[in-house]
Structure 1
Amino acid sequence: MANQKNFHYLWLSFLVSSVGDWLYRLALPIIILQRTESPYHAATIFGITFIPWILLSLIGGSLADNYPKKQILILGNTFAIFASLFLIIVLSVTPLNFYLLYAAVFVLASVDPLIHPSFQSIIPEITVSEHFVKTNATVQTIDNTLSIMGPLAGGTIVMLIGGINALWIDMFSFMLAVLILCCLPQQKNTPRSQHIMRKLWLDMIEGARYSYHHRVILSGAMMFLMTNLALNMFEANFIFYMTKVLKYPLVDATLAMAIGGVGSLMASIFAGPVVTRYKAGMLLSSSTILAGLSTLLLLMNTNYLYIGVILGLMSFFGTINVITYFTLRQRTVPKEILGRVISVTRMISYASIPVGSWFGGLLLSWRNSMFIVIMLAGIIRTLAGILARLSPLGKEN
């Protein structure tokens, strides 16, 4: 029977693996920059981590609908253990083989899109409906708290023990997550589709057709396509900018990231009254424009505390933006097709992340200054908001 104790196992496994993820996010670019001094390779690797979300999201959703979710979560984290070990081995070899490195990063990044739908959809199976709000709030609180504490604590650990040792901790976090997930109750076998690949293809076609004809939802996905292009031109090169260009120690760079995380936490607190008070189209376009203009404020000062405050401002508007769009999508799309529309729109919006990461790193490798990268990112994000205001999305109530 579903009970709150079962959810405790789920959120504890999420917490453990998320802490490991923060170590991974900080350790990998530091290792690459130390080994190569190349912003191009660091930014390219950052972009590669998002490619599986474009390619595998729909498969993850289909797996969640056709197989026991507990097994998927355990197998996914077990696979991540070996993928992490493979990455550590590749990074330990001299000289660095970038083809193997890119492959190892891609394989490890493939776990999340394959198991994330199972994580989201197992909650109704292990807890009762009266606790849905509380359980979802718990997951969001963990995520927002780690966006503040993760950079500072993770950066300190990486600085003290080194990047490779931090990756070992990441690998052990997957092991601990598997042990915790084994405590979840056994599930009944989910009826399996006899032609899962055909079903996946038909689901994708139906979701794509609906998303294309629902011009408000499509306009929102295109807005996020431009937004993610701009955001990741800067974000993928943040560690390089702080530690190599501005010469700040890693702890100052991660402190700026932690301050930036406060913006997301504040947005999640104020989102309820804000989203219900204002029209969705106006709020989405305005928050995107304000996030773009906030990005341009990074050009005015290079003090790490100032940068942290501006990152907080950017993340505040960005989080309001995301919550508004998710709410709009849930309100307007029929429940029976919502999952497929979420997958299709996420694929569209994520498609520009690898491109933005790669392009930002390419500009820096051509000896262009970070000033150019930030300016382009701010202009593109502001333009995305203006175009959204003129699109069907901007007219949505």
Structure 2
Amino acid sequence: MASAVSNLGDGIVRTAIPLLAITLTRDPLLVGALTSLSFLPWLLFAIPSGALVDRMDRRRAMSSANLVRAGVVTMLVAAIAIDQVSLVLLYLVTFVLGVAETVYDSASRAMLPQVVRRDQLDRANGPLSSAEVVTQAFLAAPAGSLLFAWLVIAPFVSAAVAYLLAALLILSIVGNLRPARDGRAQTGSTTIRADIREGLRWLRGHELLRGLAVIVGLVAAAETMADSLLVLYVVDTLGLPESAFGVFLVSFGVGGLLGGLAAARIAAKLGRIATLVLSSAVTGGAAIGIGLTSNVWVGAAFFGAVALSVSVFNVLSISLRQALIPEQLFGRVQGAYRTLVWGLIPIGALLGGVVARLTSVPATFVISGVLQVVLAILLWRLLRRHRLQIAAAHQPDPVPAVAS
């Protein structure tokens, strides 16, 4: 319940902020900068946040992050109320929300391996991913755009309330969710800096995850070239009103829901490596399709295909990391991994704005898709080289995982 309510707040804010931005400017570079700033914290703070999460009760980390998000959205509500909204303020709010997200996501991802066996991670991550998509796409996105069309301030008030409620619900969870620590950590003889170095060392020495981080980071950057311009594509290319933006995102919800629920079954039938590579290639192909159409229904279908393939890929890649990374190191290594992956996303968002200025928004989608297809080939070569390690990682645990 806490996760669903928090995702509801996320989805409303992510829908409403771009809509608020395009009331101030239609410049694709300035609009794309919002996406860049939302991911920049992963480049700057993912590793320190992961180290922090590896030192504290993960419930407290998640609750504190939601309280920060509630506070910063409330600040935006006040600015709207007194008609003092600016792009600079939207950039600031987006950045702070991103910083809080590094803590919240690191803690929530680290919790799952504490209570789920390695061979069950795909099945556990699938429903979680689907629940996130259902909340954000089916509920939050339409609600965010419709509330915005009704009253500009309404979606932001709703998001602030959702974050506050989620923080309270998280604190009500019973049990000890502190991470397992080695003897030095338990006696407090290590520092945050030493913990960070340990996580970086572990990732640097792991050829599979290191290579995966680089390739997935490039894929994410290419994908964000187009995604950062989605609001302009929907409103200007497809000709939909701003109030329909969130409704259009329902197609993403349909695809994401199906992908999250089907990921484990598809991997069991086709194999984990084939599924990861195929889903990456489909994402690129669908992006090309989006750029080549101005038909609302065709665009929505391609957008749904993007969501389905991204959801499948995310479920399997998250499960792979959870299976490979030691539980006591998970926050730090996950932080380092996401620094590499999500740190490239701001570059992709800014590059998308530049390309759109030089060409057009639809052309940017096509270029993004071509790059993703090329990167899918590199992904296949990496995963094929480490196929035995990938298969071994998902063997059953000697004993079932339990909360520490």
TM-score by length of 1: 0.83
Structure 2 match to 1:258: 250
- Measured in 2, the distance between the counterparts of 1:90 and 1:193 equals 45
Where 2:93 maps in the other structure, the secondary structure is helix
- Measured in 2, the distance between the counterparts of 1:128 and 1:291 equals 29
Q: Which amino acid aligns with 1:151?
A: A
- Give the Å deviation of 1:271: 1.5
- Give the Å deviation of 1:310: 0.5
Deviations 1:88-132 (A, max 9, x none): 34456667554444223212321121233334455788x899xx9
1:369 to 1:180, Cα distance in 2 relative to 1, 3 A: same
Of 53, 63, 73, 1:64 maps to: 53
Structure 2 match to 1:329: 321
Of 25, 36, 48, 1:47 maps to: 36
1:302 to 1:21, Cα distance in 2 relative to 1, 3 A: same
Where 2:239 maps in the other structure, the secondary structure is coil
- Measured in 2, the distance between the counterparts of 1:103 and 1:25 equals 14
Structure 1 match to 2:375: 384
1:381 to 1:77, Cα distance in 2 relative to 1, 3 A: same
- Measured in 2, the distance between the counterparts of 1:186 and 1:323 equals 26
The aligned runs of 1:158-307 (5 Å cut-off) are: 158-162=148-152, 164-185=153-174, 199-307=191-299
* Residue segments in structure 1 that go unaligned for 5+ positions in a row: 1-11
Tell me how many residue pairs correspond in the alignment.
Answer: 379
Q: Which amino acid aligns with 1:87?
A: L
- Give the Å deviation of 1:44: 0.4
Provide the identity percentage.
19
- Measured in 2, the distance between the counterparts of 1:71 and 1:168 equals 24
Q: Which amino acid aligns with 2:318?
A: F
Q: Which amino acid aligns with 2:91?
A: Y
Where 1:66 maps in the other structure, the secondary structure is coil
- Measured in 2, the distance between the counterparts of 1:297 and 1:48 equals 27
Structure 2 match to 1:4: none
- Measured in 1, the distance between the counterparts of 2:177 and 2:320 equals 34
Of 326, 338, 353, 1:346 maps to: 338
Where 2:172 maps in the other structure, the secondary structure is coil
Of 76, 84, 92, 2:65 maps to: 76
Deviations 1:138-161 (A, max 9, x none): 644421312441322332222222
Structure 2 match to 1:369: 360
Where 1:244 maps in the other structure, the secondary structure is helix
- Given that 1:32 and 1:38 are in contact with CA atoms closer than 8 Å, whether structure 2 keeps it comes out as no
Q: Which amino acid aligns with 1:239?
A: V
- Give the Å deviation of 1:320: 2.1
- Relative contact order higher in (CA < 8 Å, ≥ 6 apart): 2
Of 136, 147, 161, 1:157 maps to: 147
- Measured in 1, the distance between the counterparts of 2:245 and 2:71 equals 30
Where 1:35 maps in the other structure, the secondary structure is coil
Structure 2 match to 1:103: 92
Q: Does 1:144 align with 2:133?
A: yes
Structure 2 match to 1:6: none
- Give the Å deviation of 1:338: 4.2
Q: Does 1:26 align with 2:18?
A: no
Where 2:203 maps in the other structure, the secondary structure is helix
- Give the Å deviation of 1:384: 0.8
1:174 to 1:238, Cα distance in 2 relative to 1, 3 A: same
- Give the Å deviation of 1:380: 1.1
RMSD: 3.1
1:292 to 1:119, Cα distance in 2 relative to 1, 3 A: closer
- Measured in 2, the distance between the counterparts of 1:209 and 1:66 equals 18
* Residue segments in structure 2 that go unaligned for 5+ positions in a row: 388-404
- Give the Å deviation of 1:377: 0.3
> Which deviates the most, 296-305 or 138-147?
138-147
- Give the Å deviation of 1:77: 2.4
- Measured in 1, the distance between the counterparts of 2:145 and 2:90 equals 22
Q: Which amino acid aligns with 1:178?
A: A
Q: Does 1:396 align with 2:389?
A: no
Deviations 1:215-246 (A, max 9, x none): 22222112211111111111111011111343
- Measured in 1, the distance between the counterparts of 2:328 and 2:318 equals 16
1:370 to 1:174, Cα distance in 2 relative to 1, 3 A: same
